[in-house]
Amino acid sequence: MIRGRHFAAGLALAGLTWTVAFRGRSHFWPKMAAGVGALGALAVAANPELRRQRPRPRDLGVGLATAAALYGIFRAGDVFARRVMPAGAADIDEVYARRQEAPRWFIAGVLALAIAPGEELFWRGLVNAYLMQRLGRGAGAAIGALIYGGIHLVTGNLTLTGAASVAGAFWSAQYLVEGRLPSLIVSHIVWDLWIFLVQPTVPPPA
């Protein structure tokens, strides 16, 4: 049973983390790693079920498949945003400019070890789980996805907010089906590394 005070405290810390990291002028990656790592730790402490879950062989395959599917969605979304949204290209380029703020090995490390798993532990393992506990599985998953997208409004980047909303809905649906986190953590780690460092989305050919 997840308590309401843990849910409320987590959302407050998430709002602070996203605001300080995205609105600050420097040290984006250390701020996100520290803040999201703390959110992940809070989730593990607040939700006993997370401490009982163990990876299964199928989690790797499911995680890789869903990461690939989400990447395909984002490749199409990149083309749409650059062509249709007035600031779409600039917003996307702003996100990818974060790659210049730290060495690639450091970014890869914090994405794989803190940010991606921490986000899944907190957003799906605490926020969605609490809302599903209180409101029912379908409604809880939907509202959790909306909150995940909405937190990105503090970035001032509407394209990023839309992209986060799509990713949040995707992983919330996966959590609704799976009912556990290991495959989502694999999916989030692989997707983060692939789309941000290995094969970023690119503008369509002129």
pLDDT exceeds cutoff 80 at 42: yes
Asked if 120 contacts 47 with a C-beta cutoff of 8 angstroms, the reply is: no
Asked if 166 contacts 132 with a C-beta cutoff of 8 angstroms, the reply is: no
Q: How confident is the model at residue 76 (pLDDT cuts 50, 70, 90)?
A: confident
pLDDT exceeds cutoff 80 at 181: yes
pTM of the complete model: 0.93
Asked if 53 contacts 181 with a C-beta cutoff of 8 angstroms, the reply is: yes
Q: Mean pLDDT across the chain, nearest whole number?
A: 92
For the chain, the helix, strand and coil percentages under 3-state DSSP, each to the nearest 5: 85, 0, 15
pLDDT exceeds cutoff 90 at 103: yes
User: Residue 17: its pLDDT value, please?
Assistant: 97
Q: How far is CA 37 from CA 141, 144, 176, 193, in A?
A: 22, 19, 23, 17
Domain locations along the chain: 4-198
- From 148, 105, 99, 101, select the one nearest 123 (Cα to Cα): 148
What value does the mean pLDDT take over residues 126-153? 97
The DSSP H or E segment spanning 80 is: helix 57-84
